[in-house]
Amino acid sequence: MAYEVRELKNADEWKMAFPIMKQLRTHLELEEFVALVTEMQPQGYRLFALLDEGKIVAITGVAQQLNLYYGKNLYVYDLVTNESSRSKGYGEALLSFVHELARDLGCGKVALTSGLQRGDAHRFYEDKMGYERKSYAFVKDL
């Protein structure tokens, strides 16, 4: 299968990806999504789409990071395939693209977190993509 992965660089392109992002980030509305991506860009956030026959079928948001526990790494903030397009290899293709991007950027690791309720995603990351479960993530609302 031949797919195209393209970086989405402006608000018009982000808006085209929003219906898929909304499936993962259900709390977001379009205007807030565009505002957040705009604000995150100077921090290194990049949004990529996987297109099949010119149609966006999956998206990922990533940023290069440097920290004490992983060193230079590419962090996956968002990875979602359109509900109607799942189990067709799009997620694997897009995450494989992320792995190559990380290598090209000189990163030694790709890291991500995934909600506790996302059992199918966990199986995908661990069984299909070779990720190891290393930690729990904690958050406190203020």
4-128: what fold? Aminopeptidase (3.40.630)
Q: What number of other Cβ atoms are within 10 A of residue 29's Cβ?
A: 11
Query: Is the predicted pLDDT of residue 2 greater than 80, yes or no?
Result: no
Domain boundaries, the chain: 4-128
Query: Is the predicted pLDDT of residue 74 greater than 80, yes or no?
Result: yes
CA pair distance 73, 87, nearest whole angstrom? 27
When pLDDT is cut at 50, 70 and 90, the band that residue 120 belongs to is confident
Q: Give residue-wise pLDDT tens across range 101-114.
A: 999 999 999 999 88
Residue pair 74/101 in contact by the 8 Å Cβ criterion: yes
pLDDT of residue 72: 98
Mean pLDDT, rounded, of the chain: 94
Query: Is the predicted pLDDT of residue 65 greater than 90, yes or no?
Result: yes
Q: Mean pLDDT across the stretch 53-81? A: 96
Q: Taking the alpha carbons of 87, 20, 124, 101 in that order, is the dihedral positive or negative?
A: positive
Query: Is the predicted pLDDT of residue 1 greater than 70, yes or no?
Result: no
pTM, 2 dp: 0.91
Question: CA gyration radius for the chain?
Answer: 15
pLDDT of residue 140: 86
